[in-house]
Homo-oligomer: A and B are copies of this chain.
């Protein structure tokens, strides 16, 4: 199963929406980070409905337009979303991780805390690897100018380092918020 279905469920877990509404929310940045197109959207909605994860709530026909089909998440839908949120996504699957966080309010805080601790450890490890790698590369030449391949190699890893630091910082913040039960 790909993430798109869960992206849709994560929206419906918050409010009832039509396919069109979901697309608006997703493609209008800031609100959401996952993009979707019609060809994934409508077949996926049909599939989710036929499998009982969502159900048609109303069918508002406004004279001229195609009837607006408002969907609602089912109990089964919520359960499958919760199960997906807690199963670990593999390293590098950034979008998927964010998407899971977006539905983390459905999951018990203790479970999320355990997850976060593990994630934090992983990223701490990666940070260590990157730092070591940079040290290694820097040691190869005494002066590395901008036209040298090593310049770019190091620059890219330095980005990775900043990225990992941000990730770890976020884990710490999140752990604090969960402990205090407020954000």
Interface residues of A (CB under 8 A from B): 13-14, 30, 33, 94, 98, 101-106, 109, 112, 129-130, 133, 138, 143-160, 162-163, 165-167, 169-170, 173-174, 177-178, 181-183
Contact = CB atoms under 8 A, between A and B. Distances in A.
A160 B93 CA distance: 15
Interface of chain A, helix or strand or loop or mixed? helix
**Identical subunits present:** 2
Contacts of A153: 102
Given A149-B14, A183-B151, A162 B169 contact: yes
A106 B149 CA distance: 8
A158 B157 CA distance: 23
A145 B104 CA distance: 12
A103 to B, nearest CB: 6
Contacts of A159: 98, 101, 166, 170
B144 A183 contact: yes
Interface core residue of A30, A147, A159, A178 (most chain B CB under 10 Å)? A159
Contact of A163 (B104, B145, B166): B166
